[in-house]
Amino acid sequence: MKRKIIAVLMILALSAVMLGGCAKGSAQAGGLLAAIKDRGYIVVGTEGTWSPYTYHNDQDELVGFDVEVARYIADYMGVEVRFTETAWSSIFAALDAGQIDIVANGVSYSEERAEKYAFSTPYNYTQYAVMTLADNDSVNSLADVAGKVSSNDPTSTIGQFAEANGVVFDEVKEAAQAISEVRNGRAEVTFSTTVGFADYFKQHPDEASLFKVIVVSDPEPNAYIPALKGNEDLIKVIDEALEAARQDGTLSDLAIKYFDVDTTKG
């Protein structure tokens, strides 16, 4: 009798393990899109320190072009949005670890990234520019930056663009800090977008005469939403949301709100 009871308990335990495994497998099979809809919210990684794309306003609210695009996507999907503010250097690690579902942070596409991530269609375009002190006669074009000290994050797309043009890095993590390094003479140049520099001068008009900004690229797509590969169904819905935002004018309105110009059409 004792042996029969033990055997029954073992069968029940094994059945529970198998059922648990099947439940887990079904959840995985449903994919990230199904998980987001089941839980009722999408987790979005963003820096929160890069104005006007993702930053805190005077009321300490998280705002910005990319933040509002993410909110629109969540609304389109019928779920809430929860932001996780993460340093750029750690944002893809958070995506890899499943701590966030997508990134909304002006993420550029590259073939290297495409090996690991699925990308939405682009939703914003920009031009790169280099900033230096107004009286620095040694920098007047992109060709002049080779060998110069540039205050940028080397892990960012902008930093990689700077590196490809021969700069030596003074590594920083935030745009305001990068400009401060140039102002204080610890760096000779810094790279950003034309919109990023324009926004800085809007907030610090007294500093406009201290610097000169040189546009160094043609307009190109610079903002995509990435998710881990295998989640193409999620990307498809995000693409639908972005297209809806184009058609109803939301993308253009957000660009004008944050950049004073429509940068969403290339």
Q: What integer pLDDT is reported at residue 1 of this predicted model?
A: 43
Contacts of residue 76, defined as CB under 8 A and 6 or more positions apart, other chains included, come to 237, 240, 241, 244, 245
pLDDT of residue 174: 87
User: Hey, do 33-125+222-259 and 128-217 end up sharing a CATH topology, with the first three levels equal?
Assistant: yes
pLDDT at 3: 43
Model's pTM, two decimal places? 0.74
Through-space distance between the first and last CA atoms of the chain, rounded to whole angstroms:
78
* pLDDT value at residue 189: 98
Cα 241 to Cα 26, 74, 188, 206, distances in angstroms = 27, 9, 41, 40
Closest CA to 35 of 244, 231, 226, 224: 231
Q: Are 65 and 255 in contact (CB under 8 A)?
A: yes
Asked if residues 129 and 194 have their Cβ atoms less than 8 Å apart, the reply is yes
Which residues of the chain have a pLDDT value below 50? Answer: 1-28
Instruction: Give the architecture-level CATH label for domain 33-125+222-259.
Output: 3-Layer(aba) Sandwich (3.40)
Q: Are 224 and 105 in contact (CB under 8 A)?
A: no
Residue type, 260: D
Q: What is the CATH number of domain 128-217?
A: 3.40.190.10
Q: Which residue ranges make up each domain of the chain?
A: 33-125+222-259, 128-217
Summarised one tens digit per residue, pLDDT across range 179-221 is 999 999 999 999 999 999 999 999 999 999 999 999 999 999 9
